Structure 1
């Protein structure tokens, strides 16, 4: 079946209109979005991700061009690679490792990047190439450098950019190293979740430059978009804007296998106690409390396992020692039974973080910020002068 380009054009116009009405797309970017459609950068086989269920469904242009076109212009994330390229077939793989972000997320990040004519931009994570294409159309290809760690992903993006008549500099390399040959940059935009802001990003930026990155802790998969302004003293600081969720920078992914030796025999010699804290108090998905616990309990990974019988176990693992904690709840029962093992009392720290958050009026993530420098990363609530290491 031949693809109806008019249908795609109408869908693109409708998407741009919806994003403008929502405030994600600003007028200065609207014409760029129309001129550089997302569909030009998508593979024939992709997987549309359902945010509500967390499931991804394959969509093939050759099998169903209408469904593919609808997916291309829908405001949903589209997985374009699984398992670092090892995956084959049309069924979803295990771990999504490259994607086309939701158009609303792309538009809002470009809005917050606040570019103007003549600026130089470093993009970390080329992905499909669409974001680099939008920037190149707005600023000129010579002013945009995009770094991608996966050579196959980079080559596909480069081909799509060439077919679209756009010529940003695309580099195969580790985005955590930046690209010094193109420095200094006025803007750095990171399109992968990070757990540490790479020093080269501010070192390769002009004073007054901006770094926009999805940042979070290993406590959860959550990211909060942070907008850092580079200072004359070689540091960068700024607020968290809103919650997002990105695939993580490859070198900063959490390897859950590292905890395989933490609990050789549950509960073993763990200390046992009870708590009145419910697992719902720990928050879910985009709840700010999860983000705040990660800020207050550093070097801790958390996962919740639920069973069909209505029971649940929340695990907490220390990233620097063999310490661990587990909180068990049964359906309909208040509180939980807690086991803790190792020199670090992780559950006690989690409870202390909850008390701290409640005691300060349950602030949202937008009242927090991040400062990065040669001394490391520090987070703060309201006042950068009152910060703590993370």
Structure 2
């Protein structure tokens, strides 16, 4: 799979909520009925386990998508973004067409469509989007949009959906409207996140336990290294990995790979072809790493999980084969320059890596990664810190 440079960048200084409402008024001739936001997420550990009914441990981050929304009296939907140069996209509630949607507009339109499938009457609306979640970086910028939109529409329509149902609605939007065969992890983190905590999610029954995760009191910082290589879930690489997992579960006679234990892998190796076995081995061992991480965080804190982050990256690189030269360089360089653990995060084939780094080594890691990318002839990465933040909410 070839990696592509990112087509758009997020604004360096996001507008304030009042400025966003003012921009909405300038564009649409009235103030919005409200402004809602939803965060992106970093997945601490647990990659490609969600659609295998397994375990994940993401956290919502302090970068968000915000939508100013105003209800219309007719059935028109008008969508505008503060970034890019796409202009107002206009369609009708009775004519929602994924093929005609442009760029980011498929995410709010997919949410509207999914609510309609549930028998919820969605009014015409005007919507202005602003987001500072890096695009294509594996930090779930698309789900942040969807979760902000569904939070707004859940309130404006009086639908009264709980977080579990909103998670499933946004998953349906992704799967059946956008065409991306994603699981429920990203939406769950964005809708159910909590400041200072990671979200330990059982993807079989949607049960959630908030796990304290604060790096700074432990003398650490979580660095995100955005490689600036775009990835997309709506492509063959992600879909083929999911198909391999489904095949593995079928051959092994289980409902989902979540039901296979690490101790059963030797037997599984004799039943599966070599590639499918490696895909299965990643998911099974990754589920185990999530459970170990939760236990270690509770018993010893963030400084104890570095080796599990490292092992997760090796598994994704070698068994699931979803890393990239840029991600491998970011991880290897961060580890060689002081990070206690590092891994790629997100769906793969580009995007970002995370590096859990001692506060005193932060600048050393930043400088080393930037130098390594320059020497390799790669696009300069964007390196920044994230902290666990609150989930989706109304902010105005």
TM-score normalised by the shorter chain: which range applies? Answer: under 0.3
> Higher strand proportion, which one?
1
Greater percentage in helix: 2
- Structure number with higher relative contact order (C-alpha < 8 Å, ≥ 6 residues apart): 2
**TM, length-normalised to structure 2:** 0.24
Normalising by structure 1, what TM-score? Answer: 0.24
